[in-house]
Amino acid sequence: MAGAVVWLTGLSGAGKTTLAHAVAKKIARPSEIMDGDEIREFLSEGLGFSKEDRDTNSHRIGFVARLLAKHGVLVFVASIAPYAETRAQLAKHSQEAGHEFVEIYVHAPLETVAARDVKGLYKKALAGTIDHFTGVSDPYEAPEHPALTIHTHVESLDESADRVVHLLRARGLA
Amino acid sequence: MAGAVVWLTGLSGAGKTTLAHAVAKKIARPSEIMDGDEIREFLSEGLGFSKEDRDTNSHRIGFVARLLAKHGVLVFVASIAPYAETRAQLAKHSQEAGHEFVEIYVHAPLETVAARDVKGLYKKALAGTIDHFTGVSDPYEAPEHPALTIHTHVESLDESADRVVHLLRARGLA
């Protein structure tokens, strides 16, 4: 099967990484999950959270994801990638490289992700002690035409994962 | 066939990238060539040439190479990686990930690479206008026990490539 880049974009705590793992378990083909936090540690240490640094981070992830997709790997990227223009560039690079780029919007309202506060960061961000926190003190440009929008505050993880699998099957990617 | 990381280490201008391309053409399986200069542009913009930055660069390349090898890709890395300890760490990480790390020393004497001066950098480095230039104003720790040493100043490219292919076949990697 062809390689592809499936980019799960959304706020911190929306459930991107969890969803990627649930989908990967449901499909028969091998895949790779690139988690934004993990990637920052290995590829982007030293980068901050300015627009420029976020874009550099997204482009680095994109570069690696394309390398994998080129070799037939289905790559799930779970990374905020807050800027629409940057995601459009990443999609273009994938298309130029000859593989699909599937943008999935993993959505939950700010109130929900702030209440979940998995990493304890929203509390700090809302208290004003973290600058450049996406959705609170830094912009998040939601996708206008994603291939799929997942509402993690109203769907179960299993339902959400099934919807992604259905999309991937329809596109011949799973 | 199993994925693996084949790291071609040696001075700038020794012929690492050229050799990687020649080997890739001679073998039947698909492979990926990660070129040090290209990688610096995409993954390590902003890093300099201090020991710390060089190590960070080598570890980033290693991280990506291992991801590819994990998915069955034979990865040729053509990157100086001047520090023996760093290369030993990279070898260890690959072994821990369950694939082979093959260290190949692409050697030519400093006089030869300086005379070739493909990128015009040795002239500047020897004139003292480039700091931290490997082999001139920065250390290069040659491998003590590489899987293979290629002497590009006395062997033809075809001979060198055949020797690498022979090694890869012996290890079940080509």
B93 reaches A (C-beta below 8 A): no
Tell me the pLDDT band of B45, cut-offs 50, 70 and 90: confident
- Which CATH fold would you assign to the domain A4-170? Rossmann fold (3.40.50)
| Rounded average pLDDT over A50-62 | 95
Is the pLDDT assigned to residue B46 strictly greater than 90? no
Q: What is the pLDDT of residue B103?
A: 98
SS3 content of chain A, % helix, strand, coil (to 5): 45, 15, 35
Residue ranges of domains in chain B:
4-169
| Rounded average pLDDT over A81-86 | 97
A89 reaches B (C-beta below 8 A): no
A71 reaches B (C-beta below 8 A): yes
Q: What is the pLDDT of residue A40?
A: 87
Min Cα distance B154 → chain A (Å) is 34
Give the orientation angle of helix A84-97 with respect to helix A51-70, to 10 degrees.
20
| Rounded average pLDDT over A75-86 | 97
| Residues A168, A171, A173, B5, CA torsion sign | negative
Q: How many Å apart are CA B23 and CA B78, to the nearest integer?
A: 12
Three-point CA angle A160, A157, A137, nearest 5°: 85
Q: Give ipTM to 2 decimals.
A: 0.93
Q: What is the pLDDT of residue B173?
A: 97
Tokens of B27: 């073998």
What is the helix (H) or strand (E) element at residue A77, kind and residue range? strand A74-78
Chain A residue with the nearest C-alpha to that of B40: A60
- Contact present, B89 and B97 (Cβ < 8 Å): no
- The answer to whether domain B4-169 has CATH 3.30.70.20 is no
Q: B92 vs B40, which has greater pLDDT? A: B92
Average pLDDT score over chain A = 96
Beta partners for A106? A150
Cβ–Cβ of A71/B70 closer than 8 Å? no
Cβ–Cβ of B42/A59 closer than 8 Å? yes
Tell me the pLDDT band of A112, cut-offs 50, 70 and 90: very high
Q: What is the share, in percent, of chain B residues with pLDDT greater than 90? A: 91
B29 reaches A (C-beta below 8 A): no
Tell me the pLDDT band of B20, cut-offs 50, 70 and 90: very high
pLDDT tens digit sequence for B112-160: 999 999 889 999 999 999 989 999 999 999 999 999 999 999 999 999 9
Min Cα distance A16 → chain B (Å) is 20
